[in-house]
Structure formats: C-alpha cells, structure tokens
Amino acid sequence: MSAITRTGHRYRDTASGKTLDVWFPQGDERIARHCLAETLGLIAGDFVTVTLSSPDAAPASAEDVYLRLHLLSELAFRPNTLNLEGAFGLLNNVAWTSAGPVLPARVQALRAQLQDQAHVLQIPCIDKFPRMTDYVIPEGVRIADADRVRLGAHLSPGTTVMHEGFCNFNAGTLGASMVEGRISAGVVVGDGSDIGGSASIMGTLSGGGREVIRIGERCLLGANAGIGISLGDNCIVEAGCYVTAGSRVTFPDGKVVKALELSGASNLLYRRNSQTGALEVVPRNAAWSGLNAALHKN
C-alpha cells in the first residue's frame, strides 16, 4: 500500500493545546470550520497534514487516529485492517456541544461566555469518539439516529440502521444489511444479513477479548438474541437465544458440543427447546426469506 496523505481541519484547546478533533474532508479540500467555542477563544482551529505510511503501524497521535477513523467510515479500509492499538490513550475525552467541541472541564467556562449569546447550549455526548455523520456521510445508507453510529463505523451502501440500531468504530457491514441491534467494535456483518431489534454481538472491547466475530451473508440474528461466536452464511439465531463460545449445544442426534466448535459454520439454526430449555442446533438447507428489498433501496 502506498502512503496516504490527507489535510484536515483540527480543533485544539487553547489553554492546554490538546487536540479535540480533526475533520478530513473527502477530496482532500482545505475547508475550515467555525463555531461559537472558537469565536469565544476556548478552542482554536488550524489545518494539519497527516500521513498514513502503513496500516499495520500503530497510530502515533490523535490526528493519526482521526485519519484512520475517517478512512474506515469512507470505506477505504474494512474493519480490522487498520491498526488502532493505543487509540484510546491518544484521544482526549471531549464534550461534544452545540457550540463546538471542548474539554469537559471547560464546559462551565463556555456556559459563562455564552451568557450574552442567543444560544441554548446542548451537550449530546461526552466521549472520545464523535458521531460519524458530523464527519463522514456514507453513500446509499440510512441512519435513523445518528447519535448511535460512531466515527470509524464502516457502513456499506444499502445498509439501514434503525432507531435502536448501533454501530461502533472499527465495525460494520460489508453489504446491504438491516441493523436494529448492536454491532460492537471489531464485528463485521455480511451482505443481506439482519441484526434484529435489541440483538447484540460480542465485540473486542469491554471483555470481548481479541476474538473477532463475523456474521456471514444472508443471516438472521433474531430480536433480543446474541452471539459470542461467528456465523457462516445462511444462519439463524432464534429470537431471545444467546449463544456464547462456551454454550453447550445439542444436535438432533443427541451429540453435545461447545458452540465454539461451530464458530463460522454455515447453514445452521440455533434455538431453545421450548420444553426443556436446551440450546439446540439444527442444520438448514435453505436461506431465510431475506431482507425487504424496498427498505434497502437507499
């Protein structure tokens, strides 16, 4: 891979010099942003040029992390193909306000300086990662609630993220998919798959370890279901059924295995026996009926 060099507009805290964010416009245009926090002198904007020499090298600065997050959301790289090791330590916790990004400790000063301004301050988020749509607008994608998609999410054309759907950074879809549940960090979802309402997929953060979970093509993860293993193609996990790596799964012939042994296998249906409560797996010979085509013409 040849080196990637982009110029972005950066905001920094004027008191400490800490980087708050960097926006890299697609097309590498030099476009400056302006906000009230900048006008009031709490933050300062400038242009910065960042080079990604290798996707395998760990990021060296907050500016470097922001470039990588943009490249993921622009679909230039798939999740788990850019090294993001140490990203949390390089990013500052930011209060993302309606007057612009500021350090959380500076919010009170911002409020004080807004006294003479006709502005009702809103703070929708305090986090290291901002919402994606303030930086990158993906083509052919519907997002019902932008607060639930972080910068660094990878959403392919045809994807619909419903109001309760969530997609973390370094995760996303590889084709047209329905997202009504949670796609955690590191997780990728194949073309034609549906993540049902309140369904969850174990990621690589908060106890998920380094196991990267993938959902294949034409899969259905039912409402309130969850997985801690990968699914191959044409799989279904019944609504309300959670399959962890250590779950004991029973085959129709009575054989019992750990679910981890089935990770990545295709054409399987996972379900709970309604009488015994046992977790069962049943081979499938046909795909489910699939996504509603009209909903995914984005």
pLDDT score at 211 = 76
pLDDT score at 204 = 72
Residue-wise pLDDT tens digits, 15-42: 999 999 999 999 889 999 999 999 999 9
Buried-state track 215-250, b at ≥16 Cβ within 10 A, e below 16: bbbbbbbbbbbbbbbbbbbbbbbbbebbbebebebb
pLDDT(288) > 80: no
pLDDT score at 48 = 98
Asked whether 169 and 151 are in contact (CB, 8 A), the reply is yes
pLDDT score at 206 = 53
Q: How far is CA 245 from CA 19, 63, 195, in A?
A: 40, 37, 19
pLDDT score at 9 = 98
180 catalytically annotated:
yes
Average pLDDT over residues 266-294: 84
Confidence of residue 1 (pLDDT cuts 50, 70, 90): confident
pLDDT(289) > 90: no
The active-site residue out of 38, 63, 180, 238 is 180
Average pLDDT over residues 187-202: 97
Nearest-angstrom CA–CA distance, 41 and 48: 19
Average pLDDT over residues 273-296: 78
Residue-wise pLDDT tens digits, 72-130: 999 999 999 999 999 999 999 999 999 999 999 999 999 999 999 999 999 999 999 99
pLDDT score at 290 = 63
Asked whether 233 and 219 are in contact (CB, 8 A), the reply is yes
Percentage of the chain exceeding pLDDT 70: 94
The strand pair at 100-102 and 94-97 is best described as: antiparallel
Q: Whole-number mean pLDDT of the chain?
A: 94
Nearest-angstrom CA–CA distance, 212 and 205: 10
Average pLDDT over residues 288-298: 62
For 295, the 3-state DSSP assignment is: helix
Tokens representing residue 173 in the block: 């879809």
pLDDT score at 28 = 87
Residue-wise pLDDT tens digits, 198-225: 999 998 765 555 678 999 999 999 999 9
Strands (E), 15-170: 19-23, 43-52, 94-97, 100-102, 125-127, 142-143, 153-154, 160-161, 166-167
Percentage of the chain exceeding pLDDT 90: 91
Confidence of residue 189 (pLDDT cuts 50, 70, 90): very high
